[in-house]
């Protein structure tokens, strides 16, 4: 009986501790804040929000119930794999791709075929491209 009580207490404690965790923000280190701000505002379409530092080195965006923080600093080019990417869901893939083309931003499917769209087994469409700092971005229509 004592071991059953301890097991139940442990499970309850684990549930309480994990239920109180939420994603606050994602920070992306950038080389040129103005260029990255333009990309995430004009190409991705994120909504900028006020940031408390006001030092010219930060731009914050609203992402649902979380945030994306761009932070400029002394740049060291990172090694980035496509598996490590930010993903944004949109309503209109065709319109989004037209905007990429109008801004001369190339995209590819998961396997790297230029100008192609990945069709997942669940019907969701995905494209991949990089931001001005070389970070991979996925955009899909799983809105």
| Residue 77 pLDDT level (bands cut at 50, 70, 90) | confident
The domain defined by 82-143 carries CATH number 3.10.180.10 = yes
To the nearest whole number, what is the mean pLDDT of the chain? 91
Cα–Cα distance for residue pair 77/31, rounded to 1 Å: 9
Contact indicator for 125, 93 with CB cutoff of 8 Å: yes
Is pLDDT at 134 greater than 60 in this prediction? yes
Q: Which fold has domain 21-74?
A: 2,3-Dihydroxybiphenyl 1,2-Dioxygenase; domain 1 (3.10.180)
The conformational region for residue 104 under phi > 0 = left, psi -120 to 50 = alpha, else beta, is left
**HSE (side-chain half, CA atoms, 13 Å) at 74:** 0
The residues facing 66 across adjacent strands are 63
- Residue 88's DSSP bridge partners are 139
Q: What is the pLDDT of residue 47?
A: 98
Q: What residues does each domain of the chain span? A: 21-74, 82-143
Instruction: Answer whether residue 120 shows pLDDT above 90.
Output: yes
Instruction: Measure the CA–CA gap between 62 and 46, rounded to whole angstroms.
Output: 7
């Amino acid at each position: 009986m004592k071991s059953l009580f301890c097991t139940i207490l442990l499970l309850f404690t684990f549930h309480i501790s994990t239920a109180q965790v939420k994603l606050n923000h994602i920070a992306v280190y950038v080389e040129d804040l103005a260029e990255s701000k333009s990309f995430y505002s004009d190409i991705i379409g994120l909504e900028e929000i006020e940031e408390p530092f006001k030092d010219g080195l930060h731009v914050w965006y609203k992402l649902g119930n979380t945030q994306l923080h761009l932070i400029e600093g002394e740049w060291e080019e990172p090694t980035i794999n496509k598996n490590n990417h930010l993903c944004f869901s949109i309503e209109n893939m065709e319109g989004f791709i037209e905007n990429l083309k109008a801004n001369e931003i190339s995209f590819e499917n998961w396997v790297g075929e230029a100008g192609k769209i990945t069709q997942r087994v669940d019907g969701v469409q995905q494209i991949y491209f990089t931001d001005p700092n070389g970070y991979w971005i996925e955009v899909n229509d799983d809105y």
